[in-house]
Copies of this chain bind each other. A is one copy, B any other.
Amino acid sequence: MRTIDWAGDHVVAVDQTLLPGEVRMLALCDVDAVIDAIGRLAVRGAPAIGVAGGLGVALAARTGRDPEWVRSEAARLRAARPTAVNLAWAVDRVLAHVDEGAEAVLDAAVALLEADISANRALGARGAALVRELVAGPVAVHTHCNTGALACVEWGTALGVVRSLHQEGLVRLVFADETRPLLQGARLTAFELGEMGVPYRLVVDGAGPSVIARGLVDIVLVGADRVAANGDVANKIGTYPLALAAARAGIPFIVAAPESTLDRATPDGAHITIEERDPGEVLAFGGVRSAPVGALAYNPAFDITPADLVTAVVTDTRVIRPARGERVA
C-alpha cells in the first residue's frame, strides 16, 4: 500500500492523524483538500508532502482553468508548510509543465511520485552501505519522528535505511523517540517497526541523549525537512539534542534524505524558516489537557542541527560529510 497515490481523478492518502488506531484513506479532490491535509498533518513527512503538492498542482490543472489560476493555486500549495523544501521543489517541478496542458502536468506529478519510490530504494541501499562501513555487525539505531514509508510514498528515508539493513539481518534494536507534540514516533514509527518485525523500544524525547551517553546506541539515523548548502539540517523538533549527544559519545549522526531535500539556495540554517505551530498541540494530546487552563506554550516544529555535528548526509545518489566541511552545493 502506498501512503499517497493518484487514483484516476483524485489523490488518495492515508490519514495519518488516525494511525495507529485506524487505517483510513482520504480522497483529496481539490487543492483546498490537499492544503488542509498537509496543514493538519494527515499527510506529513517531507517527501510525502512534496508528492502531495505535485499532485495538488495536477488537480488544479485538471479543472481546465487558465494557467494563471493554476499558478496562484500552486502558490497556495507551496505555502501550506514553510520548512520542508520538498514541497516548494515538487510544486515548482510540476508547475513548469502548466503551459503544456493538464495531461502533461499530471504526467509530471506522477513521474515525481514514481521518482520518490526509486529515490527511497536507492537511499535505503546507499544508507545501509554507509552504516555497514561505520559500524561492524548488527546495529542499535536511535531515530526520531517518522521517516518510514508513511513519510514518503513507500519504503522511507531514515527508516528506509533501517528497512534495508533489516533485510540483511543487521538491525539489533531501534530506539524510537515518541516525538512530541504529535507523537509521530509513538504512533507511526512504532507501527512501522512492528510491521517490519524489527525489535524496538519507544522512549520519551528527553531520554534519547542519555540512552546514547550510556552506550546503548551505535548510530543515530534521522531524516530531514531541509538541508542547507553548508550542511545545516532542519528536522523535527528534538533532533538537535540527539546530534549533541552523538557528538559527545563519539557515534555517527547520519541524516538520510533524498536529493530533493537539499536546498542549495539556502546558505545555512539561520536562513531556514522554522514553522511555529498551534500552542494547543503542546498543551494537550488526544483531547486530554495536560496543562492548567490559561497556560501558554511555544511550539516550534523544527530545529536546526549545525553542520559540524552531522557526520554524513546520505542521499539517493551520494554521501556528503558536513562535519568534515563538505558542502551540499
Closest B residue to A285 by beta carbon equals B285
A296 at interface by CB-CB < 8 Å:
yes
Which B-chain residue is minimally distant from A177 (CB atoms)?
B206
Q: A211-B298, A244-B248 are in contact. Are A179 and B206 (CB under 8 A)?
A: yes
In the bound complex, CA of A288 to CA of B239 (Å):
25
Closest-by-CB residue of B relative to A213 is B240
A203/B298 in contact, CB under 8 A: yes
Q: How far is the CA of A210 from the CA of B269 in the complex (A)?
A: 12
Are the C-beta atoms of A201 and B241 separated by less than 8 Å?
Answer: no
Range for the number of chain A residues in contact with chain B? 35 or more
A173 nearest CB across to chain B (Å): 10
Mostly, the A contact residues are mixed
- Within the complex, which residue of B205, B209, B286, B295 is in contact with A204, where a contact is CB–CB below 8 Å? B205
The segment from A62-70, A130-138, A184-192 found at the interface with B is A184-192
Say whether A295 contacts B190, CB under 8 Å: yes
Q: Which of A204, A205, A236, A303: most chain B CB closer than 10 A?
A: A204
Taking A190-B291, A203-B297, A287-B288 as given, write out 4 further A-B residue pairs in contact, using a Cβ cutoff of 8 Å, ordered by the A residue number. Answer: A204-B205, A205-B206, A210-B303, A211-B300
A residues near B (Cβ < 8 Å) are 20, 144, 175, 177-181, 183, 186-187, 190-191, 194, 200-211, 213, 236-241, 244-245, 248, 279, 282-283, 285-300, 303-304
Q: Pick 23 A–B contacts, CB within 8 A, sort by A.
A: A177-B206, A181-B204, A186-B295, A187-B292, A191-B292, A203-B282, A203-B297, A203-B299, A204-B205, A204-B237, A204-B238, A206-B206, A206-B236, A207-B298, A207-B300, A209-B241, A210-B237, A210-B240, A210-B303, A210-B304, A240-B245, A285-B290, A286-B290
